Amino acid sequence: MKITWLGHSAVKLEADKTILIDPFFAGPSQNLKANQRQGIDFVAVTHGHGDHIGDAFEICKENNATFIGGAELADEAEKFGLKALGMNIGGKIAVGGVVFNMVFAAHSANIGSPAGFVIEMNGLKVYHAGDTGLTLEMKLIGELFKPDLSLLPIGDTYTMGADMAAIAVDYLQTKKVVPIHYNTFPAINADPNVFKKKVGAKAEVILIAPGDHFELK
């Protein structure tokens, strides 16, 4: 699976299908917008804040892609004439060879409730935490899914910082982790190398710049 970080919380997963998660493009990733929004099958949004919804509805329309999100967000997508599949925490949707599991996130939202996703595709499991603080539910996510890759916010202020995110890595039993949701705005400036040092040998921390990718196997 090809994993591309597009800055902030925006991540693209490419295997049998192409999935774009939280497609908000700002700061250093703004110039990536045009060439990363084509060939999309699904757009998944973790919660109803503008820096996560981003261009989700427009990208769905451009690609005839299916919107995946909480029930209330899916209702909003349908008002725009989009194909949408709504769900809630604890539920899963299997569509097009991909399984979307919606899991708990401790945060807020303008529409509906915040959540994370564990996405299963091509025999791999990717956990996108969305915006969240550290929760004991992460132990349950680890026990149930044992993610091959976890995408965790480290920017502090609105989410976990490096200290809490490093504990989350332990809870999740994850093999690899990519830090997200940092350095977009001054309030969430963070040094990913500090996070990497705190994680230590518990998991492989993969640091990539916006627009860069790696292969998950």
Cα distances (angstroms) measured from residue 200 to each of 67, 92, 136, 205:
36, 32, 21, 8
Quote the tokens at residue 214: 């790696």
Residue 127 to residues 35, 138, 186, Cα–Cα distance (Å): 24, 10, 26
CB 133 within 8 A of CB 169: no
**Cα distances (angstroms) measured from residue 79 to each of 24, 43, 74:** 20, 16, 9
Say if residue 212's pLDDT is above 80: yes
Q: SS3 for 15?
A: coil
Other C-beta atoms lying within 10 Å of the C-beta of residue 104: 20
Q: Would the pLDDT of 29 be above 70?
A: no
Under DSSP, the state recorded for 29 is G
Read off the pLDDT of each residue in 118-143 and give the average, rounded to a whole number: 98
Mean per-residue pLDDT over the chain, rounded: 96
* Residue 21, pLDDT above cutoff 70: yes
pLDDT at 35: 75
Q: Is 117 helix (H, G, I), strand (E, B) or coil?
A: strand
Q: 52-89 pLDDT, tens per residue?
A: 999 999 999 999 999 999 999 999 999 999 999 999 99
pLDDT over 90 (residue 34)? no
Round to whole Å and give the CA distance between 159 and 9: 12
How far is Cα 1 from Cα 25, in angstroms, rounded to an integer?
Answer: 22
For residue 80, the 8-state DSSP code is T
pLDDT in tens, 173-200: 999 999 999 999 999 999 999 999 999 9
Q: Do residues 178 and 169 make contact, with C-beta atoms less than 8 angstroms apart? A: no
Mean pLDDT, residues 77-103 = 98
Q: How confident is the model at residue 6 (pLDDT cuts 50, 70, 90)?
A: very high
The Cα 175–Cα 169 span in angstroms is 9
**Residue 66: what pLDDT?**
98
As a whole number, mean pLDDT of residues 102-123 equals 98
| Least reliable range by pLDDT among 18-32, 117-131, 156-170 | 18-32
Q: Are 3 and 21 in contact (CB under 8 A)?
A: no
pLDDT of the residue at 123: 98
Strands 42-44 and 18-21: parallel
